[in-house]
Amino acid sequence: MNISTLFKKTETLIALILLIVMIIIGCINPAFWRLDNIFSLLKSNVIIGIMALGVTLVMIAGGFDVSFPAFAVAGMYLTVKLMIYTNYQGLVIPFAVAILIGLACGTMNGFFVYRYKMIPLIVTLGTASMVKGFILGVVGTSMININKMPPQLISFAKSNIINFTNADGTKYGMTSMILVYLSLALIIHLFLNYTMLGRGIYALGNDKESAKRAGFNVKLVTFTVFCLAGAIAGFAGLLHSSMIWLANPRDFVGMDLDVIAAVVIGGTSIFGGKGSVIGTMLGVFMLVIIKNSLIIMKVETTWQKVVIGLIIIVATAITAWRDKHNQS
């Protein structure tokens, strides 16, 4: 009970800060509240958000993951190449293939973390370098752009929930990809809170030994977490390429820091056992808004790295302070 009220507190706090940030930005630049801006903000949430969901799982279990951008590249590039090679017209099988590629890569992480008790950061650094090196060194380095991209991917990601027309005749709408993101978030939320395996992830993150004694299968939980994170990354990769109409094997560079920053803002502690889907989604929204408003407020892009670095430091300091405070 105590823990659940704390969770509520953490998330309401993030939501409040988010609201204040939005109001401040809105005061500085009223264009922020325009519907097309809000829609485009939500659209930029999708890919970072989906990836952050995977990282949240890993971090709740007390792990760490820097390999998801590489897995996303693998899922995206291999699948699109295969689609072009076989001239396949469908949509479901490609996404299943991308998910399976990510899953296979994730299994590698799970295997090394569980079997050899190695620090997840080092394992995922190794697998990331391997997978990315394999894709660029063996599969290819050339971009697949719009005239070669499978058209069904593009038309899938193009669909909108609602459409509006501006006074000057330009059209804008809410991408239906946001529904993909929201439903995935809902599934993971339910999985984390209402299944034994999901509770096992929290238990493992809190204390490995206690989780073992309470009867959780540590092997199963570890593999589940890393496989799921990999699968989510593979899916996000293919979705990303259909949204930008481009499959670039050098994509997602620097994405790891954005996603990890978002997850940390959301209150997930790397000590494990703490974190939630709602927190992460709020964190992702916060990060997207901050990055977007840096551009709106005409801050030079060179400052972006500084800002992201500061965000990671401040957010982790607050989380660490919360955990310490909570213990004493």
Q: How far is the CB of 130 from another protein (least distance, A)?
A: 3
Q: Which stretch binds another protein (CB under 8 A): 28-36, 230-238, 279-287, 304-312?
A: 304-312
Q: Which stretch binds another protein (CB under 8 A): 112-120, 163-171, 197-205, 213-221?
A: 112-120
Please state, in angstroms and rounded to a whole number, the distance separating the CA atoms of residues 108 and 217.
19
- CA trace torsion 66, 175, 159, 144 (10° rounding): -30
Residue found under tokens 């502690």: 269
| Residue 245 contacts residue 149 (beta carbons within 8 Å) | yes
Name 23's Cβ contacts closer than 8 Å, sequence gap at least 6. none
Q: How far is the CB of 312 from another protein (least distance, A)?
A: 3
Q: How far is the CB of 326 from another protein (least distance, A)?
A: 12
* Binding test (CB under 8 A) with another protein, winner from 97, 227, 264, 278: 264
Q: Is 220 a binder of another protein (CB under 8 A)? A: no
Residue 72 CA: distances (Å) to CA of 170, 232, 247, 324: 33, 8, 11, 35
Q: How far is the CB of 288 from another protein (least distance, A)?
A: 17
Q: Is 303 a binder of another protein (CB under 8 A)? A: yes
Identify how many contiguous H helices and E strands the chain contains and give both numbers: 13, 2
* Binding test (CB under 8 A) with another protein, winner from 15, 91, 130, 154: 130
Please state, in angstroms and rounded to a whole number, the distance separating the CA atoms of residues 274 and 180.
25
* Binding test (CB under 8 A) with another protein, winner from 41, 96, 136, 197: 136
Q: Which amino acid is at 221?
A: V
The continuous run of DSSP H or E covering 162 comes out as strand 160-165
* Binding test (CB under 8 A) with another protein, winner from 112, 202, 252, 285: 112
| Residue 230 contacts residue 111 (beta carbons within 8 Å) | no
Q: Is 164 a binder of another protein (CB under 8 A)? A: no
Q: Is 294 a binder of another protein (CB under 8 A)? A: no
Residues that bind another protein (CB under 8 A): 64, 112, 115-119, 121-123, 125-138, 141, 257, 260, 264, 270-271, 300, 302-313, 316-317, 320-321, 324
